[in-house]
Structure 1
Amino acid sequence: MEKAKLLYFYDPLCGWCFGFSPVIKKLEKDFQEQIDFEAISGGMVLGDRIKPLSEMKHYLQEAMPRLEEMTGVQFGKPYLEILEEGSLLLNSELPCIAMTVYKSMTNKSSIDFASALQSALYENGVNLNEIDNYQELVESFDLPWEVFRSKMEDSAYKEKTYQEFQIGQQMGIGGFPSVVLSIGKQGYLIARGYRPESEMKTVIEEILSKETADSK
């Protein structure tokens, strides 16, 4: 059986993806010998969906306690402060471009970088619409900041990012987080929305076992 691949469709601005981050990181750690993991940017907030945080404030304030209770993550005080202030513009484009650039510069975990992007926003209140705000994050992954910055400003990486958005659209991904486990020509949608780690692990093990048996 050829090595399986897990596609994690996420968006840096997706709160439920922030909640799912510990799950997908644990799965990558547990299955790294059997499965290659890749985070795929979704482009959730683009075009006419771009809006100030204030327009989502009441919805988010209602959803956040349930999200924290279900997932165990905590929204940081800096994020709560920018949510209260409300002027931050919600726009997926630049953080998704950052993911494209990251994947062009290293073979290290894109799952870890996706998680770090979400932590920057939802724990530390970082404005992900400003390129210079990525320097600390990028350097924490031991990547040269000036090279990374130059690529983020290169229109070719914006184009590649929009091409990545189309992967999810072509596969019929309707929301985030979504997870597809691919083995050979067979794809399994194993999560649409948040799903606990124990359930995910059981499903993945069952699929791997079935595919191993079928390949004999």
Structure 2
Amino acid sequence: MQLVYAFDAYCGWSHGFSPTLREVVSRHPDLPVEVVSGGLFTGPRRVPIREFGYVQGANARIAELTGAEFGEAYERLIADGSFVMDSEAAARGVAALRRAAPDRAPELATALQQAFYVDGLSLSDPATYRKVAAEAGLDADAVVAAFESPEADRAAADDFHRAAELGVTGFPTLLAVEDDRVTVLARGQATAEEVVRRLAAVRVP
């Protein structure tokens, strides 16, 4: 059995789920975790953030329910409404970080969300990946090179396909996958206790 975490680095609810993910992973070090980018803001949805009028109201709700932090630098970044959330670029970055440290993919995914939602850094900017990689003790030059490589484009497309193949329709979604059996452990908001309880039920022989 493995866990599959389908998220989008530009999804506020995924940001709110980060503590739950970290706790579940820490409680189950025996379970491999596959991190997959979902592609929330691609194609016609890749537009200035002002076109999503619900963002700040949604963020307030996420903060209320999960305790997630939305930093002042992030608020400044989106203040004039011109910032464009590009999930394809974010997925390339997730792929580059995942390639550098596959076993740390959940940790790096949550670090990337911290970079955007707290530090106000664009996930389309190579400098963001340099910073996240350096803070994680990874080879920052290699991560940036991977982010800018054609392989990252293919990895992002593969991630979007993988999420769709697993039937993921919203983010975040945490799945338990064993052979052909796919069990939803969380979709949207969930506490670590809820996820651990569901996981225990799935793992009963």
TM range (shorter): over 0.9
Matched residues in 1 for 2:39 and 2:58: separation? 21
Specify which of 10, 15, 19 is matched with residue 13 of structure 1: 10
Specify which of 76, 99, 103 is matched with residue 108 of structure 1: 103
The residue number in structure 2 matching 1:174 is 169
Matched residues in 2 for 1:134 and 1:81: separation? 20
**For 2:6, what is the secondary structure of its paired residue?**
strand
Matched residues in 2 for 1:198 and 1:102: separation? 28
Query: Which one-letter code corresponds to 2:108 in the other structure?
Result: F
Are 1:27 and 2:24 an aligned pair?
yes
Matched residues in 2 for 1:99 and 1:137: separation? 11
Unaligned stretches of 5+ residues in structure 1: none
The residue number in structure 2 matching 1:38 is 34
Q: CA deviation at 1:96?
A: 0.9
Q: CA deviation at 1:8?
A: 0.4
Specify which of 141, 151, 155 is matched with residue 146 of structure 1: 141
Larger Rg: 1 or 2?
A: 1
The residue number in structure 1 matching 2:199 is 204
Specify which of 121, 127, 133 is matched with residue 122 of structure 2: 127
**For 1:119, what is the secondary structure of its paired residue?**
helix
Are 1:55 and 2:51 an aligned pair?
yes
**For 2:177, what is the secondary structure of its paired residue?**
strand
**For 2:54, what is the secondary structure of its paired residue?**
helix
Matched residues in 2 for 1:65 and 1:99: separation? 26
Matched residues in 1 for 2:100 and 2:130: separation? 15
Matched residues in 1 for 2:87 and 2:124: separation? 8
Task: Output one character per residue of 1:71-100: Cα deviation in whole Å (capped at 9) or x when no partner.
Answer: 111211111122222221111112211111
Matched residues in 2 for 1:149 and 1:174: separation? 30
The residue number in structure 2 matching 1:66 is 61
Q: CA deviation at 1:107?
A: 3.0
Specify which of 156, 165, 168 is matched with residue 160 of structure 2: 165
Q: CA deviation at 1:184?
A: 3.3
Matched residues in 2 for 1:128 and 1:104: separation? 17
How many residue pairs match? The answer is 205
Instruction: Output the aligned Cα RMSD.
Output: 1.3
Query: Is 1:38–1:109's contact at 8 Å kept on the other side of the alignment?
Result: no
Query: Is 2:93–2:123's contact at 8 Å kept on the other side of the alignment?
Result: no
Q: CA deviation at 1:108?
A: 2.9
**For 1:90, what is the secondary structure of its paired residue?**
coil
Task: Output one character per residue of 1:105-143: Cα deviation in whole Å (capped at 9) or x when no partner.
Answer: 223311111101111010111011111232111111222
Query: Is 2:98–2:108's contact at 8 Å kept on the other side of the alignment?
Result: no
**For 1:13, what is the secondary structure of its paired residue?**
coil
**For 1:89, what is the secondary structure of its paired residue?**
coil
Unaligned stretches of 5+ residues in structure 2: none
Matched residues in 1 for 2:124 and 2:9: separation? 11
Which segment drifts farther, 188-197 or 112-121?
188-197
Identity of aligned residues (%): 25
Using structure 1 for the length normalisation, give the TM-score: 0.90
Task: Output one character per residue of 1:13-36: Cα deviation in whole Å (capped at 9) or x when no partner.
Answer: 000000001001100000112x11
